[in-house]
Amino acid sequence: MILEKLTSRKKKHVSKIKNHIFDLHMQLSHKAKNIDELKGKDLNKKIKELQSITSRMKEYQKYLKLVLL
C-alpha cells in the first residue's frame, strides 16, 4: 500500500517534470520563430531569453535523470 502511493507520487512528479520540459521546448520554438527579423539590442535580448530557457531545460533534464535512478 505504501509502496504503491510512493510509486504513484513519483509517476505524477515525473510526468509534471516532463510536461514542464515540453512547455519550455514549446516556448523556445515559439520565441525562435521571429529571430531572423531582429537586429542589434533586440537580437541580443532575444538570444539571452533563449539561452535562459535552454539552460532551464537542461537543469530539469538533469533533475529528471536523478529522479528516475
Q: How far, in Å, CA of 34 to CA of 40, rounded?
A: 14
What pLDDT shows up at residue 28?
Answer: 93
pLDDT of 6 strictly over 80: no
pLDDT of 65 strictly over 80: yes
For the stretch 8-35, pLDDT in tens is: 888 889 999 999 999 999 999 998 998 8
What pLDDT shows up at residue 52?
Answer: 95
